[in-house]
Amino acid sequence: MIRSSSKHLTLLALLCLSGALLFAPAPAFSQQATEESPQTGESASPDAETPPAETPPAEAADETQPAADPAEAADGIDAGQDELDEAAILRFDAKSARELEAVERLLLTAIKKGLSGENASFAKKMLGSVLLQKSQQLIAAMGQTAGNRNRAIQLRDEALRTLEDALKNDPELVEAHLLVARLNMLPGGDKDAITAATSSAIDLLADNPVERSAAYLLRALTWGPGNEDKRLADLDAAIKDDPKNREALQARAAVRLQNQDVAGAIEDMERVLAEDPTNLQVAQTVVQKLADLDRVDDALKLLSNALEAKPSEGLYRMRAILYRMQLKEEEALADLNKALAMQPQDPISLLQRAEISVARNNLQAAKDDLRAAERIAPGVAAAEQAIFVRCLIAIEEGRMADAINEMKTLIDRDPTNDGRKLQLANLYLQDERPRQAIEVLSSILDRDPTNVSVLRSRADAYLSVGDHDKAIEDYERAIKAAGDDSTNYDLSGILNNLAWVLATSPQDSVRDGARSVELGERAVELTDGKEPHILSTLAAGYAEMGNFEKAIEWSSKAVEVGKEQEHEQLQQLEEELEQYRAGKPWREKQETEENAVPILSPEDLIDT
């Protein structure tokens, strides 16, 4: 072994240390703690050995270690020089756990024997790098625990102890600080340790803004409730250091949305999509949030800008869904056609287009798209959207039993979905099964007694079976719950139906002409006098009060508007007018005869 403090050997050792720091593997971690098993790191290098869990963590070099005996250093050579030289040479090729431990032992021995000045500082730096590499191997081994939670936790704890020793020897190891933070983000980690480690890394990275940006982001993700300002400040700093840090932009957009800063969130997401226009996950997240906030126009603008930067079938499909939310079926269809032109084998776009085709009464096109989607991905046949498309086609073809069965299938999958139950009730009404509809609607109202749409539907069902008292009760409850909100509810329709039964019921105890006129006038006002059946209802109210002059006036308007619109009930409108001219009020009692044909389930339909 060469006993020399030559500059050449020192230079060789420095090169070894630099190489170890540059080429040591850097495991990746999830940036969010979960309550599941610890996240896995990168797989270990093929040349690396899995460190045994029982290997105790190396001790840090003792900074209070006394200097070498003067007698031993009389020739100017440190007592631990031999071990330091050997460690420097071995460090160059050290990769496996055993090789790293050999270097570690030599360095600890050298320090214990005695090193001075630059040699002491250099030994500590090298020991820090060795311990960092050992910790990285431990972290990589976490990914090979095959779901063994206890083993993974054991390795995580050993890696943390090793990193602690590494930082005692070299407090400027930025990667070690960041690994401490990431390991503590796993279940059971120490949030204070995360803050301390990321703060140290941020201080050390003053001359490296891009890496410091990542450290700011890591610290931002650790701030809990009550520290929203600190989280936002760290995200601002991360983006200032690296304006292209997409993860920081995404995180800040989420914070801004929570703070109702929609404009700021959109700006951040536009920057993300400008860097990565095909990032559907990002687009979907912000679009969903904007839709939840009823900011569909803002979501459309965001997607349009992203599509302008780089067209993508996923973005076209997403924009089509937004157009459908706004009832812009033509625009939605155009986008779905573009999506399918780019990716003809996309079953989701095919199902979306099939729905629109049904609404456009193009059943053949709908069937073609449905079959194509099921052919491309046979499992699609069991998807909710495919079931719904089959239900829509069955409705249009008058196969109500099939439509009802399909809707029941959807409800069986999600029994709490009141929207689907309301659709089922409406199918029962269309199939002249009002009593079954009432049963379904009542189950919804048991949980949600002020649901305006359901109250109105049940009132209509009661009306169809001649139970006027219960119908009136539900209409009144619906009007009270809706208030003056004619935007979210068909308030004019509810007012009209209640006014009609109050004016035309054959039951004397039910009729109330004055109340009918009051409600009818509100309904006419809400519809600007453009709905013939509502004008007809106001006329019926006046007839019930005995004011046939007014009844004839409003009934004549109903007939006039009905002719202009070629209204489907024009014949009845004309009959009502003749009744009023004869000085007689109109009487009507619906009494739907329940459809007694049994609805067979698919299991009951056996081919023979």
Q: What is the pLDDT of residues 102-132, one digit of tens each?
A: 888 888 888 898 988 888 889 888 888 888 8
DSSP assignment letter at 67: P
CA distance linking residue 123 with residue 9, whole number of Å: 13
CA distance linking residue 565 with residue 560, whole number of Å: 9
CB 171 within 8 A of CB 63: no
The domain total for the chain is: 2
- In the chain, how long is the greatest CA-to-CA distance? 134
CB 539 within 8 A of CB 513: no
pLDDT at 294: 82
For residue 549, tell me if it sits in a domain: yes
For residue 571, tell me if it sits in a domain: yes
Report how far apart, in Å, the C-alpha atoms of 66 and of each of 69, 113, 118, 316 are.
9, 9, 16, 71
Residue type, 111: I
pLDDT at 26: 43
pLDDT per residue as tens digits for the range 477-510: 999 999 988 888 899 999 999 999 999 999 999 9
Arithmetic mean of pLDDT, 389-409: 96
Report how far apart, in Å, the C-alpha atoms of 215 and of each of 227, 378, 436 are.
17, 46, 61
Residue with tokens 């899995």: 50
Which residue would you say has higher pLDDT here, 91 or 35? 91
Instruction: Classify 362 in phi/psi space as left (phi over 0), alpha (psi -120 to 50) or beta.
Output: beta
Q: Which of 149, 170, 191 is the last residue of a domain?
A: 170
Q: Which of 127, 149, 170 is the last residue of a domain?
A: 170
CA distance linking residue 478 with residue 43, whole number of Å: 62
For residue 587, tell me if it sits in a domain: yes
Question: 573: closest CA among 545, 592, 551?
Answer: 551
CA distance linking residue 267 with residue 276, whole number of Å: 14
The answer to whether residue 362 scores a pLDDT higher than 80 is yes
CB 212 within 8 A of CB 231: no
For residue 185, tell me if it sits in a domain: no
For residue 439, tell me if it sits in a domain: no
The answer to whether residue 25 scores a pLDDT higher than 50 is no
The answer to whether residue 5 scores a pLDDT higher than 60 is no
Which residue would you say has higher pLDDT here, 74 or 414? 414
Question: 88: closest CA among 75, 104, 76?
Answer: 104
Q: Percent of the chain beyond pLDDT 70? A: 86
For residue 135, tell me if it sits in a domain: yes
Q: For residue 62, name the pLDDT band (cuts at 50, 70, 90).
A: low
pLDDT at 605: 54
SS3 category, 112: helix
CB 167 within 8 A of CB 63: no
Q: Which of 139, 170, 201 is the last residue of a domain?
A: 170
Arithmetic mean of pLDDT, 32-45: 38
pLDDT at 21: 40
pLDDT per residue as tens digits for the range 248-299: 998 998 888 888 888 888 888 878 877 777 677 777 877 887 788 788 998 8
For residue 550, tell me if it sits in a domain: yes
pLDDT at 604: 61
Q: Tokens in use for 89?
A: 């040479």
Give the Cα-Cα-Cα angle 142, 160, 233 (nearest 5 degrees): 105
Structural domain containing residue 526: 492-594
pLDDT at 75: 59
Residue 65, exposed/middle/buried by CB under 10 A (0-12, 13-18, 19+)? middle
Q: For residue 389, name the pLDDT band (cuts at 50, 70, 90).
A: very high
pLDDT per residue as tens digits for the range 435-465: 999 999 999 999 999 999 999 999 999 999 9
Residue type, 424: L
Arithmetic mean of pLDDT, 163-173: 89
**Start-to-end Cα distance in the chain:** 93
Q: What is the DSSP string of 363-431?
A: HHHHHHHHHHHHHH-GGGGGSHHHHHHHHHHHHHTT-HHHHHHHHHHHHHH-TT-HHHHHHHHHHHHHT
pLDDT at 139: 86
pLDDT at 488: 83
CA distance linking residue 413 with residue 389, whole number of Å: 16
Question: 33: closest CA among 197, 223, 216?
Answer: 223
Question: 231: closest CA among 198, 271, 269?
Answer: 198
Residue with tokens 């019926």: 540
For residue 427, tell me if it sits in a domain: no
SS3 category, 139: helix
pLDDT at 272: 84
The answer to whether residue 66 scores a pLDDT higher than 50 is no
Q: Tokens in use for 542?
A: 């006046």
CB 274 within 8 A of CB 242: no
Helices marked H in 448-569 — which ranges? 452-464, 468-482, 491-504, 513-526, 532-545, 548-565
pLDDT at 30: 40
Mean of per-residue pLDDT scores for the chain: 84
The CATH number assigned to the domain holding 556 equals 1.25.40.10
CB 262 within 8 A of CB 295: yes
CA distance linking residue 58 with residue 460, whole number of Å: 79
pLDDT at 88: 84
